[in-house]
Amino acid sequence: MIVIKVGGSAGNNYDALCDDLAAHYKQGESLVLVHGGSHETNRLGDAVGHPARFVTSPSGYTSRYTDRRTLELFMMATGGLVNKGLVERLQARGCNAVGLSGLDGRLLEGRRKATIRILEQGRQKLLRDDWTGTIEQTNVTLLRSLLEGGYLPVIAPLACSEAGEALNVDGDRAAAAIAAALGATTLLLLSNIPGLLRNFPDETSLITQIAPDEIETVLPYAEGRMKKKILGAQEALAAGVGRVIIGDARRANSVSLALDGHGTVIG
């Protein structure tokens, strides 16, 4: 069982990714694809006059501030254009892909963080009316029924609150939760960067191997969104996933290369 998360930033090669996924699918491997949608959400927000706002927590993690209008745009971009675009590519390559968000069937249940604490200009502030959440439960029965039916689930990073509200959740941590729930051997986190870099953005400074007990040591090297990938990797390993590989989604054969150890191998 392999769970793959592909980022939503510009530069990722979705066509090549789907070529590679199709090859593994046809070999009988059980696969789940989780995706982001940041670039399309930003593009849609700019088009309708509601640009993205990114905030940083006091602990240094960057995330999208998600008011209700932003949540609606996020659902359109991730649950619509990105999700169905990936499903279309996979279907064209002979994969019986089914597109869902974590909201569907309460695939991902989470707790809403209505108020978040941020650091801005050196001062801590509270932001209200936020529609982000943290994942607390995965509907593994639904996932297993799809996998046993021969489907390739393609999952957008939305969750369902206890009250039935849609929530924006981090894609890397969503993939980690799904990998843990399914008992996956491997979690791949693919994005527009070759892995964790010691001297960002110098791609020759790639850190190729990290032992689980070294994660806290290398965390200071993680810039921006990479911090969430490292956190997701840490959560997946703690829950029993065998290994996590941060790899490059810009390259052809990105899944195969990552499985062969190209990137940052954690575990």
pLDDT at 122 over 90: no
**Mean pLDDT on 113-131:** 90
Both tokens assigned to 110: 């989470």
Collapsing DSSP to helix, strand or coil, 162 comes out as coil
Give the mean pLDDT of 167-195: 98
Q: Tokens for 223?
A: 């810039």
Q: Residue 18: is its pLDDT beyond 90?
A: yes
Reported in sequence order, the residue ranges of the chain that DSSP labels E, i.e. its strands, are: 2-6, 31-35, 54-56, 62-64, 97-101, 108-113, 116-120, 123-127, 132-138, 152-156, 158-161, 166-168, 186-191, 209-210, 243-248, 264-266
- Band (80; pLDDT cuts 50, 70, 90): very high
Strand-strand pairing, 62-64 and 123-127: unpaired
**Which residues, in sequence order, are bridge partners of residue 34?**
5, 155
Q: How many domains does the chain have?
A: 1
Specify the pLDDT at position 224. Answer: 84
Going by pLDDT thresholds of 50, 70 and 90, the confidence category of residue 115 is confident
Binding residues: 64, 168
Q: What is the pLDDT of residues 135-173, one digit of tens each?
A: 999 999 999 999 999 999 999 999 999 999 999 999 999
CATH for 35: 3.40.1160.10
pLDDT at 183: 98
Confidence at 112, pLDDT banded by 50, 70, 90: very high
Six-digit token string for 155: 């999952």
- Residue 60: pLDDT band by 50, 70, 90 thresholds? confident
The answer to whether 162 and 127 are in contact (CB under 8 A) is: no
Per-residue model confidence (pLDDT) at position 120:
86
What is the largest distance, in Å, between two alpha-carbon atoms of the chain? 53
Neighbours of 217 (CB within 10 A): 10
Residue 114 has pLDDT above 90, yes or no: no
Residue with tokens 């799809």: 146
106 — alpha (psi -120 to 50), left (phi > 0) or beta? left
Listed range (45-54, 64-73, 194-203, 222-231) with the worst mean pLDDT: 222-231
Q: How far is CA 98 from CA 7, 37, 55, 243, in A?
A: 19, 17, 33, 26
Range of the domain at 160: 2-266
- Residue positions in the annotated binding site for substrate? 64, 168
Distance between CA 59 and CA 199 in Å, rounded? Answer: 20
pLDDT, tens only, 212-265 = 999 999 999 999 889 999 999 999 999 999 999 999 999 999 999 999 999 999
Residue 196 tokens read as 């964790």
**C-alpha to C-alpha distance for 1 and 183, rounded to whole angstroms:** 8
Residue type, 201: P
Q: Is-contact 133 107, C-beta < 8 A?
A: no
Report percent pLDDT > 90 for the chain.
94
